[in-house]
Structure 1
Amino acid sequence: MEIIPTDKRHFPDIAEIYRQGLETGNATFETNVPTWEDWDKGKLKHSRLVAIIDNTVVGWAALSAVSDRCVYGGVAELSIYISNNHKGKGIGKALMQKLIEESERNGIWTLQSGMFPENEATVALHQSSGFRMIGYREKIGKLGDTWRDTIIMERRSKTAGIN
């Protein structure tokens, strides 16, 4: 497996993997796959990664700003998605480790992530990567006709920012 920075040429595979996540109903409140332009605009320009096996994108990870206020410049929200055919093979762990390294290299001192508690694999991945639960949001939003809860987890860097 190779983990490399992503660019526009990878987006069709990123979009397909995201679509697979949408279909689970446990990955995001979003209901549509974004265009390249919307995805690109919504993600930080650094720390965008794809995992590739046999010339096929099998997972991706990227960061989004949590605020445009300068005091939160070192805080980012992460997204990480693995293709259905490659789950449970350590790809998420490898992407997460590389994403943490890249984020710290780019001055990110806190990573945060919101997830549905039913997404047990994602919760476990974050816990094993040094994230801690900092909040539980009850019925924070509707997905279709169903009110959903989310967990908020964060990881504080030991090398970036004030420690």
Structure 2
Amino acid sequence: MDYNIREMKAEDWEAVAKIYSEGIDTGKATFQSELPNFEEWDKGHMKNCRIVACDGENILGWAALSPTSSRCVYKGVAEVSIYIGEAYRGKGVGKNILNTLVKLSEENGLWTLQSGIIKENTSSIALHRRCGFRDIGIREKIAKMPNGTWHDTVLMERRSTFIGIS
């Protein structure tokens, strides 16, 4: 499969939103139950760490980072969002996007990336492990889906080996 990874642009939103919606529909990719509009999504994500994988005009998947806190001591810590289009899952796209996001995060001075992954999303947990994330704990029944089902999340993190180290 031939594709490249590039910076996400505002005009990518329609394709990004479609992939995000596919994730919402699985019931195990996010606790989000409704697709936000671009303005809402844009406010919650860092401007400098948003990427897409594409083969020409077709977007295969995307990843972005969100700040974890407004406190300056946590300026090097971010939360990962990664979504792969249903037709492209299990083909290595996720690994390439996540590894690219890790590199981009370090270029932007981030020392810790974290993810809270719904426990049943075993493919995302495996992907994060393959990209250097480690399990740091489980949050039991942390959130309830609109249908009333409670879910645990697996907390994972990846620490840079050269950013933020003194």
TM range (shorter): over 0.9
- Residues of 2 paired with 1:141 and 1:55: CA distance? 36
Q: Report the residue type matching 2:111 in the other structure.
A: W
Unaligned segments of structure 2, at least 5 residues: none
Query: In structure 1, what is the equivalent of residue 85 of structure 2?
Result: 83
The answer to whether residue 159 in structure 2 is matched with residue 156 in structure 1 is: yes
Q: After superposition, give the CA deviation of every residue in 1:9-39 in whole Å (9 maximum; x if it has no partner).
A: 1000010000000000000111011111011
Q: Identify the residue that residue 63 of structure 1 maps to in structure 2.
A: 65
Match of 2:36 in 1: 34
Contact 2:137/2:154 (<8 A) preserved: yes
Structure 1: which 4+ aligned runs deviate by more than 6 Å?
A: none
Inter-partner Cα distance in structure 1 for 2:163 and 2:107 = 8
Deviation at 1:162, TM superposition (A): 1.5
Identity of aligned residues (%): 50
Secondary structure at 1:159 match in 2: coil
- Unaligned runs of at least 5 residues, structure 1: none
CA RMSD of aligned residues (A): 0.8
Give 1:54 deviation, angstroms. 3.6
Residues 112-144 of structure 1: CA distance to partner in whole angstroms, max 9, x if unpaired?
000011111100000011101111011111012
Structure 1 residue aligned with 2:118? 116
SS at match of 1:113: strand
TM score, norm. by length of structure 2:
0.96
Q: Describe the superposition over 1:64-118 as per-residue Cα deviations: whole angstroms up to 9, x where unpaired.
A: 0000000000000000000001111100000011000000000000000000111
Provide the rounded CA distance (Å) in 1 between the counterparts of 2:42 and 2:9: 9
CA distance in 2, matches of 1:29, 1:134: 20
Asked if the contact 2:51/2:97 (under 8 Å) is kept, the reply is: yes
